[in-house]
Homo-oligomer: A and B are copies of this chain.
Amino acid sequence: MMKFELGCHLVYSIYEPSTFVFNIGVVHNQYQQVEQEKLEIYPRLEIEEYNNPFNGNRYLRLNAPKCQMEISYQAIVELHHFLQDPHEVQEVTPANLPLEILPLLLPSRYCQSDQLINLAFSEFGHLTPGYSRVTAICNWICQKVIYLSGSSDHHTSAYDTATERVGVCRDFAHLAIAFCRALNIPARFVNAYAYGLNPPDFHACFEAYLGDRWYLFDPSRLVPQTSIIRIGTGRDAADVSFATIFGMVEMNEMRLSMQPLPDPTTGKVDQPFFTTEAIAIS
């Protein structure tokens, strides 16, 4: 068990009446138990909430007038990780995958798996299928792609990153997802809170469907996996932007915070750690 206090604070200048769809609240499930949660918006605006039944993503829509707007989300979350011996985590053939998961084998805007099939097979096709193959993909990306802030933008896709070999966590995740799908391993993008990013920011990683569930992977290796708290999952970053905005708006400030909290029974603060075990939070 691990416990975190986390939050984000966003400030916008809105130059004309605009619509926002936020995706900043953590997913509620047995692995992410939300103890407290608080959303504050100034000025006070009506909010409409939509929870996607398929993946648990929580979307908030609000229509804002011309104004300066602040939105802040705070939560205390207890994480109960599902951990497994990686040697026991197998790939599932398309013959046996749950049918509702098949769309996560398809190429998407930022993960053109159809164009990376030869590359994926040449690099990973000979490896033993299973959890270790997805780990090999993460190792490859971590070693061969340079992490460089500002090196990519919102148009950058896995196709670019495979060749240009530079990017940020979002690009690392897109490339890993594209490789997985090219190898017939379902994979989805994860937007998350995570502990230890400097400067603090939303984090991007991914999940691959292996055995009977979605396992978490982070090819950036920037944060301990045990500190990753899921906000949203989708085909790629397009689906889980923390803010999709329709209107003329400027973001003035984005502050994220995250702290481990003491275990109430022991009073000790467990520090998040890197693990080589197979880990899942959904």
Contacts and interface: CB of A to CB of B under 8 A. Distances in A.
Interface of A: 19, 21, 48, 50, 52, 59, 61, 63, 93-95, 99-100, 102-103, 105-109, 112, 114-116, 118-119, 122, 144-146, 154-155, 159, 162-166, 184, 235, 238-239, 244, 246
6 contacts: A19-B95, A50-B100, A102-B244, A107-B109, A108-B235, A119-B164
Which interface residue of A122, A163, A184 has the most chain B CB atoms within 10 A? A163
Q: Which of A102, A119, A165, A246 has the most CB atoms of chain B within a 10 A radius of its CB? A: A165
A103 B239 contact: yes
B106 A50 contact: no
A238 B63 contact: no
Given A59-B99, A115-B164, A118-B164, 13 more contacts: A19-B94, A21-B99, A21-B102, A93-B246, A106-B238, A109-B112, A114-B154, A114-B238, A115-B163, A118-B165, A119-B163, A122-B144, A162-B163
A146 to B, nearest CB: 6
Contact of A99 (B50, B109, B116): B50
A125 to B, nearest CB: 11
B239 A119 contact: no
A50 B164 CA distance: 33
A220 B37 CA distance: 51
B166 A99 contact: no
Contacts of A102: 21, 59, 61, 244
Nearest to A106: B238
Contacts of A122: 144, 165
Contact of A106 (B94, B109, B145): B109
Given A108-B108, A109-B106, A119 B59 contact: no
Question: 3 tightest CB-CB pairs across the interface, nearest first?
Answer: A118-B165, A50-B99, A94-B246
A103 B233 CA distance: 13
Contacts of A118: 145-146, 164-166
B246 A48 contact: no
